[in-house]
A and B are shown apart, each in its own frame.
Chain A
Amino acid sequence: MSQATSVPSHEHHEHAHPPGLQHHFTDMKQQFEASKIGMWLFLVTEVLLFGGLFVGYGIMHSKHPEAFIAAHSHLDWRLGALNTIILLVSSFTMVMGVWAAQTGQKQKLIGYLTTTFVLAGAFMVVKYFEYSHKFHEGLLPGKFYAHQGDTVPGQFMFFSFYFMMTGLHGIHVLLGMVAIAWLIYRASKGHFSSQYYGPVDMVGLYWHLVDLIWIYLFPLMYLLS
Chain B
Amino acid sequence: MAQENVLQANGHSAGAHLDYLDSSKGLWSWMSTVDHKRIGLMYLWSVVLFMIVGGLLALLIRMELLTPGPTIMDAETYNRAFTLHGAVMVFLVIIPGIPAALGNFALPLLLGAKDVAFPRLNLTSYWIYVFGALMALSTLVLGGVDTGWTFYTPYSSTTGGGVSMMVLAAFVLGFSSIFTGVNFIATIHKMRAPGMGWFELPLFAWGMYATALIQILATPVLGITLLLLVMERVLSVGIFDPNLGGDPVLFQHFFWFYSHPAVYIMILPAMAIISEVIPVFSKKTIFGYKAIAFSSVAIALLGFLVWAHHMFTAGMSLFAGAIFSFITFFIAVPSAIKVFNWIATMWRGSISMKAPMIHAVNFLLIFTIGGLTGLFLAALSTDVHLHDTYFVVAHFHYVMAGSNLIALLAGLHYWWPKMFGRMYNEKLAAIAAALIFIGFNATFLPQFLMGSRGMPRRYYNYLEQFQTMHVLSTIGSWILAVGLFLCLGVLLASLRGKKNASANPWGGKTLEWQAASPPITHNFEDTPVMIHGPYDYRPQPVPVAVEREQGVSH
Contact = CB atoms under 8 A, between A and B. Distances in A.
Asked whether the complex places CB atoms of A and B closer than 8 A, the reply is yes
Interface string A53-72: 10010011001100100000
A52 B5 contact: no
A23 B182 CA distance: 20
Contacts of B181: 41
Interface stretch (B70-78, B85-93, B222-230, B345-353): B222-230
A4 B238 contact: no
Contact of A3 (B120, B182, B244): B120
A167 B250 CA distance: 22
Nearest to B228: A56
A36 to B, nearest CB: 9
Nearest to B119: A24
A6 to B, nearest CB: 9
B178 interface: yes
A14 B10 CA distance: 10
Given A1-B118, A1-B182, A4-B117, A52 B8 contact: no
B19 interface: no
Interface string A154-169: 1011001100100000
Given A45-B178, A45-B216, A157 B239 contact: yes
Contacts of B219: 45
Contacts of A34: 117-118, 186-187, 189-191
A53 B247 contact: no
Interface string A25-63: 000001001110110011011111111110010011001
A32 B217 CA distance: 23
B327 interface: no
Contacts of A50: 224
A154 to B, nearest CB: 5
Contacts of A1: 118, 121, 182
B9 A11 contact: yes
Interface string B159-190: 00000000000000000001001110111011
B68 interface: no
A163 B120 CA distance: 34
B216 A37 contact: no
A78 interface: no
B64 interface: no
B231 interface: yes
A122 to B, nearest CB: 28
Contacts of A22: 119
A22 B117 CA distance: 10
A104 interface: no
B237 interface: yes
B231 A164 contact: yes
B463 interface: no
B179 to A, nearest CB: 9
Contact of A60 (B189, B220, B239): B239
Contacts of B189: 34, 37
Nearest to A11: B9
Nearest to A42: B182
A37 B228 contact: no
Interface size class of B (residues with CB under 8 A): 35 or more
Contacts of B539: none
B220 A46 contact: yes
Contacts of A161: 237, 239
A144 B190 CA distance: 50
Contacts of B178: 42, 45
Contacts of A160: 231, 235, 237-239
Interface string B235-257: 11111000011110010001000
B115 interface: yes
Contact of A56 (B117, B121, B235, B239): B239
Nearest to B16: A13
Contacts of B218: 48
A159 B178 CA distance: 30
A129 to B, nearest CB: 22
B133 interface: no
Contacts of A64: 245
B24 to A, nearest CB: 15
Contacts of B9: 11-12
Contacts of B245: 60, 63-64, 67, 154, 157
A30 to B, nearest CB: 6
B114 interface: yes
A100 B238 CA distance: 47
Contact of A51 (B221, B235, B522): B221
B11 interface: yes
Interface of A: 1, 3-4, 7, 10-14, 22-24, 30, 33-35, 37-38, 41-42, 44-53, 56, 59-60, 63-64, 67, 141-144, 154, 156-157, 160-161, 164
10 contacts: A3-B121, A7-B120, A30-B190, A34-B118, A45-B220, A142-B235, A142-B238, A143-B235, A143-B236, A160-B238
Given A38-B183, A45-B220, A52-B225, 20 more contacts: A1-B182, A10-B8, A11-B9, A12-B5, A34-B189, A35-B118, A37-B117, A37-B189, A38-B185, A41-B181, A48-B220, A49-B221, A51-B224, A52-B221, A52-B223, A56-B254, A60-B246, A67-B245, A154-B245, A160-B239
